[in-house]
Amino acid sequence: MDNPQISIERIKYLKRIKRQKEKILAWQIGILVCFLLLWEILAQAGIIDSFVLSQPSRIWKTCLNMAQNDLQKHIGITVYETLAGFILGVILGTALAFVLWWSSTISKISEPYLVVLNSLPKIALGPVIIIIVGAGTQAIIFMALAISLIVTVLEMLNGFQNTDKEYIKMAQTFDATKFQIFRKIVFPYNIATLFNSLKINIGLSLVGVIAGEFLVSKAGLGYLIVYGGQVFQLDLVMTSVIILAIVAALMYEAVALLQRVVMKKYGH
Amino acid sequence: MAVLDVNRIQKKYQAENGEITALKYIDFSVEKGEFISIVGPSGCGKSTLLSIIAGLMKPTSGEIVVNGEKIEGISNRIGYMLQKDNLLEWRTIYNNVVLGIEIQNNLTSENKQRVNQLLKTYELYDFKEKYPSQLSGGMRQRVALIRTLAINPDILLLDEAFSALDYQTRLTVTNDIYQILKQERVTTLMVTHDIPEGISMADRVVILSYRPAVIKDIIPIEFGLENRTPLNCRKTPKFSEYFDCIWKELS
């Protein structure tokens, strides 16, 4: 940057990097286009059964059709449930991790329970959850929470416990209280850990929501998938799955964007 | 009157596989403005001694007296500087420097002024809005020192504070820091495994034995130089005499 005159080697280097990036993007788009084309052609030619596997043109038609009905409502409900489960999971998970960080005794006592709960497939608790909190949106949010909570606790606790001991010792030399150590050292030190866990959690919450919607729901993308399957409208199923993939990607990107904004402020 | 009295300190560690006596009997005192270097074989408990003086660790027996008052736990009259600068990467230089007074809820305008003055005197004021990663190793160590001095301690403890720096930087940084400490008239105890570094800065060198540690000897260092700096000391013939003397005691 010190040299205003950029050398020829530098220009070549920058060009090469740019070309490489363009090449990768072209391949990514190309593969998608080829896949869709191939799918459409094979379905048109009758080689694959478009009744079972649908086809891009039919998905597009279904999509337009649904957009005029209540697609937004279904997307909205799934997004709402996912975000609710996600935010609850992150707040509760971080709070629990804080408690376990604070007291190594509580942490040691709860360790076997956490390990078992972590490996238990939370979907198995579905019927219990429905009976306890009632069949409805709250059961779905609870399911999303159940799936993301333990992972958050373990991930955040691991981060908290692995905070650089020297930083903590430094704060102790100033006679910092345990809470000050948490607020000024341990928590800011783990902002990156928090975002890693947010990125994992947004996916996990979505898994919980879809599983919950499979079990109990009258709306949402999970509901559309189950309903489509039951009435043998595979176009509806495929369309919902694709919309779900787009929604998942967008939510992940939103978290990644938030991370970039926060890291710009805190990280260096 | 001595600023610091280390009275008959003994320290035993308890571990599952037994008991280790790290310090057997340590007893000395430090006058105001003095610079003491503590040297000893590695693992002899030098850092343990410093942690006890800092109040981070309780001695098994004995006591630490500062200005005639026995201290329990961490005292804000003692500043402690560790091997790593431990600057918080997410805080600006200024916010790093005020961390100590912030923790002690002493962020008064008077203290802020003092910090700004220290930053100006030691040529870091222009960097106060920068982040630690933008500074060189030597500058970072100076920032860490100012963070410790910001709480206005009577006694400063340096725990191998320069050993993470490369040799070149280390020589200049010890020189800089020595002058800062003399100018601010801070009483200093420095633990080091680097004998020349210990001699170059000290008024007295305390030599510890292997574990369980006792004081083997205390050697007064006197170069008779008008403008004593660590770098100047290294050039005098007396320097190698002191080195030989301490080296013999250690081996």
B9-23, pLDDT tens digit by residue? 888 888 888 888 888
Q: Any idea which of A42-46, A48-52, A128-132, A174-178 has the lowest mean pLDDT?
A: A48-52
pLDDT of residue A180: 94
Averaged pLDDT, B224-244: 86
pLDDT at res. A127: 86
> A2 falls in which pLDDT band (50, 70, 90)?
low
ipTM score of the complex?
0.85
**Average pLDDT, whole number, for chain A?**
89
CATH 3.40.50.300 fits B4-85+157-250, yes or no: yes
Which segments of chain A are extended strands (E)?
none
CB A228 within 8 A of CB A241: no
Q: What is the mean pLDDT of residues A121-150?
A: 87
Higher pLDDT, B226 or B77: B77
Q: Give yes or no for residue A267 having a pLDDT over 80.
A: no
**B182 band by pLDDT with thresholds 50, 70 and 90:** confident
pLDDT confidence tier of residue A264, bands split at 50, 70 and 90? confident
> Could you tell me which residue, A264 or A117, shows the higher pLDDT?
A117
pLDDT at B113 over 70: yes
Task: Work out whether the CA dihedral B228, B229, B231, B233 comes out positive or negative.
Answer: positive
Whole-angstrom CA distances from B112 to B22, B83, B100, B120, B142 are 40, 26, 12, 12, 17
Q: What is the mean predicted confidence (pLDDT) over A66-94?
A: 89
Cα–Cα distance measured from residue B40 to residue B110, given in angstroms and rounded to the nearest whole number: 40
Cβ proximity of B21 and B12 under 8 Å: yes
> Do residues B213 and B24 lie in contact, with contact meaning Cβ atoms separated by under 8 Å?
yes
CA B200 to mean position of chain CA atoms: 14
User: In whole angstroms, what is the distance from residue B56 CA to residue B75 CA?
Assistant: 10
B129 pLDDT above the threshold of 80: yes
CATH of A61-266, one of 1.20.1250.20, 3.40.50.720, 3.30.60.50, 1.10.3720.10: 1.10.3720.10
User: Of B140, B137, B42, B173, which Cα lies nearest the Cα of A170?
Assistant: B140
Q: Is B103 in contact with A184 (Cβ distance < 8 A)?
A: yes
The β-bridge partners of B78 are B155
> Residue A4: what pLDDT?
65
Interval B38-62: pLDDT, tens:
998 887 888 889 989 988 888 899 9
The distance of Cα A26 from the centroid of its chain, to the nearest Å, equals 26
Residue B70, pLDDT > 80, answer yes
- What pLDDT does residue A183 have? 93
Task: Closest CB to A174: pick one of B90, B103, B131.
Answer: B103
Is residue A103 predicted with pLDDT exceeding 70?
A: yes
DSSP state of B126: G
- For residue B83, the chain A residues in CB contact (below 8 A) are 166
Distance to chain A for B27, nearest Cα, Å: 23
Domain definitions of chain A by residue range: 8-48, 61-266
Proportion of chain B above pLDDT 70, given as a percent: 100
pLDDT at residue A3, as a whole number? 58
Is A145's pLDDT higher than 60? yes
In this predicted structure, the answer to whether residue A268 has a pLDDT above a threshold of 70 is no
Question: Which residues of A touch chain B, with CB atoms under 8 Å apart?
Answer: 164, 166-167, 169-176, 180, 184-185, 188, 191, 266-268
What was the pLDDT predicted at A187? 93
Question: A188: nearest CA in chain B?
Answer: B90
CA distance A169 to chain B (A): 9
Cβ of B99 within 8 Å of Cβ of A172? The answer is no
How many pairs of residues across A and B have Cβ atoms under 8 Å apart?
Answer: 54
Furthest-apart CA atoms within chain A: distance in Å: 77
pLDDT over 60 (residue A96): yes
Q: Note the pLDDT tens digit of each residue in B133-161.
A: 988 888 898 899 899 988 888 899 998 88
Q: Scanning every residue of chain A, which has its alpha carbon at the shortest distance from the alpha carbon of B133?
A: A268
Residue B169: φ, ψ to 5°: -60, -40
* Average pLDDT of every residue of chain B: 88
Q: How far is A198 from chain B (nearest CA, A)?
A: 20
Q: Which of A169, A185, A268 sits opposite B82 (nearest CB)?
A: A169
* Percent of chain A residues past pLDDT 70, beyond the cut: 97
Taking only the tens place, the pLDDT of each residue in A14-67 is: 999 999 999 999 999 999 999 999 999 998 888 888 787 888 888 888 888 888
| pLDDT mean over A187-210 | 90
Q: Count Cβ atoms within 10 A of the Cβ of residue B17 and give its class: 0-12 exposed, 13-18 middle, 19 or more buried.
A: exposed
Q: Which of A218-222, A228-232, A248-252, B67-71 has the highest mean pLDDT?
A: A248-252
Query: How much is the average pLDDT of B157-168?
Result: 84
pLDDT band at B94 (very low <50, low <70, confident <90, very high): very high
Pick B165 or B205 by higher pLDDT: B205
